Structure 1
Amino acid sequence: MHQAAWYDALPPQWTIAVSENGWTTDKIGLVWLQTVFNKHTKARTVGQYRLLILDGHGSHATPEFDRFCLDNAIITLCMPPHSSHLLQPLDVGCFSPLKRAYGHQVEICMQLGRNHIDKLDFLEAFKPARAAALSSSNICSGFAAAGLVPHNSERVLSHLQFKLQTPTPPASETVIAARQTPKTPYTVAQLAREYTTIKGLLERRSKSPPSPTEQALKRVVKGCQMAMHNAAFLASKIKDLRAMSVRQKRKREAPRSYIASGGVLTAEEGQERVKRARIADEAVLDKYV
């Protein structure tokens, strides 16, 4: 079921498809080919043919899918199994940044007290994540890293070569000692230990404070500064939590309405259906007022 709330503030050129189990189907794959790939690449074709790189999913191997590609000068390139991390430009250059960007958006929601991401939350988080990850530079980098544009097979073959590496020598005693040097306190317990250290140094000091005392004092000051930064961060977090609470309250109070029982809708079509549904609801209300 398509929910009306999905289409608020959604880019008009986006398309949403639903299925019984949440997985893609042969029909959805064909509709994507016809209304998304073909629509958005036809006017940008350089030469006669277009290249469509596939990962071997069953929805890409139907007779209808193949016939549409043949009729529209689309060359399909199906990658060998378990090779998309080397050959698929999206995997090489885009999906990793997209995963990080989406994870960052989810992390923001989790910091604000959300422990469940529903479909509407996903759309709200995916929109800025997609804008950040699917940039022209990342897309071009993906095609270059896959050795496609510019064509360079060594970009892929070089990853298949085994290289011998000299084992890292064990750390020296000097390095080990350096790792044990006292660090800036990050917790109350660490701050208390630093205070004990300062107290002992002060008890043994002469007329002028020795160098260790000065270093310990600097660490305490830095720890206090970090506490102040944390307080400012918490104040900002509380503000964000309140804003999130307001949005969630509006979301709970908004009635859940459906505009389609299945299939595929572009954002523009969905927004038009939402508009017509609201006009119809207002007409019903006016009738009884």
Structure 2
Amino acid sequence: MPPNHKGDQEARISQAIEAIHNNKSPSIRAAARTYNVPHSTLAKRLRGQPTYQQSRMANRKLLPTEEEALFQWVISMGERGFPPWISAVRKMADILLSARAGSPTNASPTVGENWVRKFVNRHEQLQSKYTRKYDYQRALCEDPKAISDWFRLVENTRAKYGIPDEDVYNFDETGFQIGVIGTAKVVTGSQRAGKALVTQPGNREWVTAVEAINASGWALPPMIIFAGKMHQAAWYDALPPQWTIAVSENGWTTDKIGLVWLQTVFNKYTKARMVGQYRLLILDGHGSHATPEFDQFCLDNAIITLCMPPHSSHLLQPLDVGCFSPLKRTYGHQVEICMQLGRNHIDKLDFLEAFKPARAAALSSSNICSGFAAAGLVPHNSERVLSRLQFKLRTPTPLASETVIAARQTPKTPYTVAQLAWEYTTIKGLLERRSKSPPSPTEQALKRVVKGCQMAMHNAALLASEIKDLRAMSARQKRKREAPRSYIASGGVLTVEEGQERVKRAQIADEAVLDKVSARAFGHAPSRCSMCSSLEHNARVCPTRVI
């Protein structure tokens, strides 16, 4: 007897059912023997019990046509160089559910946290992978003795100066290439070998963000360093007034900018919040942190600085451990969204627009506290770091009732997936009541038509979401193009509040010039005598006129 495979058995069961309906088999038992299928299974199927596959489909969030539309969308995005993130696939599934329910997304059911993983597992043509490999080169520089000495230094320093947790800070710079998308797990076709390729903007201009965080879970206002010599007024339109913007030749920090940050940002926003008599500032060995001017200002203002061991910031620095990675990942996601919506070049204004929400999400209180805890600093626990050095890197819906069906006698054109499903259920019920025979070619053709309509509606829902995002992006780009480009300073550092004040002064000056031009263009000068230019008479009665 040949092996009884599931797929072959389902085909034989269908043949046995057809033979019984066509009176080609005398009994159910005889048909079961003839087609080599279990008698009980054949009897249950004749009584209307669905197949195992049909039962599983009924318990899934998305209908088969909805899953097919979502699958095609994922493949299409991957072929265009934008393999979607896990969160994007989940969002599109929610949109399809919302379209079927005919209600806003916030009132309709949503898929679960693990739904995308199960969706990928159901489709052999899909797989989830990271867009690039992680860099583990720093692990070669880990030194347990140096790290143990570091924790003893921190503990002794805090005990010596009586520094509480509320006065412990970490400060560092992180660089962004404006148009580079970060690492993320995406969904793509399984036939693609190696890492997923993601289309990126061509702008690799460097921008530096200077950040500082407190062990209590709050962050100081950032300083953004752009490559350039002039400050543009448009940079200051929609930023918080506490933020600071600086310019340098290459977009990196300098000794002067580092000192200005210490004086105008760190000392300004932490001095009033001191609990003890000293503040502890943990930093790395960058040259701008080790200048005599930087050190002298710290000594004069009760700021104790501690420098971490070299090549250890990925283990010991709270910003690196808890904040910078989600910050760059979230910023990369913002850039990828811009690319998907057709923006092929990311400039400084686009950076500020994407950086603001990315920073708000990444530098949350929970991330900051987790960073200090994971670095073993607050609470003090050196084992949180030392224990990690001991491990090697590892490879990584029921049918409607008769009463309800009868209530809808007037046919209407379906415009949504829900209306189409209702119409199909109604027609199918009418066909089943009229005939008890096996499915006819008419019903099979109806199923194909309905499936085609459902696929079209699902694709329309996905396209509507993309069009909405494209229109919003187009409106932002239009406002940016129409905004005049004016310069308000040459070099140096400005807070957003100072930049906005300079913009206002420039606008007032421009309005005054326009008023003067308008008066000259449209005002009427008083009449004067053409003989002596007097305002008191005209040429006919001028005393100087010779008669």
TM over 0.5: yes
Contact 2:231 2:489 in 1 (8 A): yes
Structure with greater proportional helix content: 1
**Residues 281, 97 of structure 1: CA spacing in aligned structure 2 closer, same or farther, 3 A cutoff?**
same
Deviation at 1:73, TM superposition (A): 1.2
Note closer, same or farther for the CA distance 1:166–1:17 as it changes in structure 2 (3 Å cut).
closer
Distance change in 2, residues 1:32/1:195 (3 Å): same
Higher mean C-alpha deviation, range 276-285 or range 108-117: 108-117
RMSD across aligned positions (CA)? 10.0
Q: Structure 1 residues 195 and 240, CA, compared in 2 at 3 Å: closer, same or farther?
A: same
Report if aligned partners of 1:185, 1:219 keep a CA contact under 8 Å in 2.
no
Given that 2:374 and 2:385 are in contact with CA atoms closer than 8 Å, whether structure 1 keeps it comes out as yes
**With CA pairs under 8 Å and 6+ residues apart, which has the higher RCO, 1 or 2?**
1
Provide Cα deviations, 1:175-207, integer angstroms capped at 9, x if missing partner: 999999999999999999999999999999999
Q: Is the 8 A contact 1:191 1:220 kept in 2?
A: no
Determine helix, strand or coil for the equivalent of 1:165.
coil
Contact 2:285 2:308 in 1 (8 A): yes
Preserved CA contact (<8 Å) 1:197 1:216: no
Per the TM alignment, residue 247 of structure 1 is displaced from its structure 2 partner at its CA by: 2.1
Bigger drift between 260-269 and 43-52 goes to 43-52
1:81 corresponds in structure 2 to: 310
Please give the alpha-carbon distance, in whole angstroms, between the structure 2 residues aligned to 1:135 and 1:54.
Answer: 20
Counterpart contact for 1:198–1:213, Cα < 8 Å: no
Q: CA 1:213 to 1:268, structure 2 compared with 1: closer, same or farther past 3 Å?
A: farther
Between the aligned partners of 1:49 and 1:181, the Cα distance in structure 2 is 80
- Residue matched to 1:138: 367
User: Once the two structures are superposed, what CA deviation does each residue of 1:36-93 show, in whole Å capped at 9, x if it has no partner?
Assistant: 1111111222211111111111000100000011111111111122111100100101
Tell me what 1:29 maps to: 258
Q: Does 1:49 align with 2:269?
A: no
Q: Secondary structure at the match of 2:488?
A: strand
8 Å CA contact retained: 2:259, 2:294: yes
SS of the counterpart of 2:399? coil
- Alpha-carbon distance in 2 for matches of 1:208, 1:72: 92
Stretch deviating more after TM superposition (99-108 or 202-211): 202-211
> In the aligned structure 1, how far is the partner of 2:390 from the partner of 2:399?
27
Matches of 2:232 and 2:442, distance apart in 1: 65
Q: Is the 8 A contact 1:93 1:141 kept in 2?
A: yes
Distance 1:146 1:207, change over 3 A: farther
* Number of aligned positions between the proteins: 288
State the shift of 1:265 in Å.
Answer: 0.3
Q: Are residues 286 and 161 of structure 1, via their aligned partners in 2, closer, same or farther at CA, if it must alter by over 3 Å?
A: same
Aligned 8 A contact 1:13 1:267 in 2 = yes
Give 1:171 deviation, angstroms. 46
Task: Specify the SS of the correspondent of 2:504.
Answer: helix
Change (3 A) 1:245 1:138: same
Residues 206, 113 of structure 1: CA spacing in aligned structure 2 closer, same or farther, 3 A cutoff? same
Kindly state the Cα deviation for residue 251 of structure 1 after the two structures are TM-superposed. 1.6
Asked whether the 8 Å contact 1:6–1:120 carries over to 2, the reply is yes
Are 1:176 and 2:405 matched, yes or no? yes
**Contact in 1 for aligned 2:257/2:493 (Cα 8 Å):** yes
Q: Is the 8 A contact 1:185 1:220 kept in 2?
A: no
Q: What SS does the corresponding residue of 1:143 show, helix, strand or coil?
A: helix
Which residue of structure 2 aligns with residue 251 of structure 1?
A: 480
Q: Offset of 1:168 from its aligned partner? A: 42
Per-residue Cα deviation, 1:142-200 (whole angstroms, up to 9, x for no partner):
00000000000001111111359899999999999999999999999999999999999
With structure 2 as the length reference, what TM-score do the two structures score? Answer: 0.42
Cα distance change, pair 156–255 in 1 and its aligned pair in 2 (3 A) = same
SS in 2 for 1:231: helix
% identity of equivalent residues: 95
**Whole-angstrom CA distance in 1 between matches of 2:275 and 2:412:** 59
Contact 1:30 1:65 survives alignment (8 Å): yes
Q: Which stretch of structure 1 is more off in the superposition, 87-96 or 173-182? A: 173-182
Matching residue of 1:165: 394
**Secondary structure of 2:350's partner?**
helix
Tell me: CA distance 1:226–1:139, structure 2 relative to 1, closer, same or farther (3 Å). Answer: farther
What are the Cα deviations for residues 115-156 of structure 1, in whole angstroms up to 9, with x where unaligned?
Answer: 211000000111111111111111011000000000000011
Greater Rg by CA: 2
2:430 maps to which of 196, 201, 211: 201
CA shift in 2, pair 1:169/1:34, >3 Å: farther
Superposed counterparts of 1:1-289, under 5 Å: 1-162=230-391, 228-287=457-516
Distance 1:147 1:199, change over 3 A: same
Deviation, 1:254, is 2.0
Decide whether aligned partners of structure 1 residues 187 and 246 sit closer, same or farther in structure 2, where only a CA change above 3 A counts: closer
Cα distance in structure 2, aligned partners of 1:178 and 1:82: 74
Determine the C-alpha separation between the residues in 1 that align with 2:311 and 2:394: 26
Select between 277-286 and 71-80 the one with higher mean Cα deviation: 71-80
Comparing 155-164 with 105-114, greater Cα deviation is found at 155-164
In the TM superposition, residue 233 of structure 1 has moved relative to its aligned partner by 2.2
TM superposition shift of 1:250:
2.5
Cα distance in 2 for residues equivalent to 1:178 and 1:120: 58
How many angstroms apart in 2 are the aligned matches of 1:168 and 1:285?
A: 68
Structure 1 distance, partners of 2:391, 2:402, is 33
**Kindly tell me: are residues 216 and 63 of structure 1, through their superposed partners in 2, closer, same or farther at Cα, counting changes over 3 Å?**
farther
What TM-score do the two structures reach when normalised by structure 1?
0.77
| Most deviating of 39-48 and 216-225 | 216-225
User: d(CA) in 2 for partners of 1:51 and 1:169?
Assistant: 65
Sort the Cα spacing of 1:170 and 1:210 in 2 relative to 1 into closer, same or farther, 3 A: closer
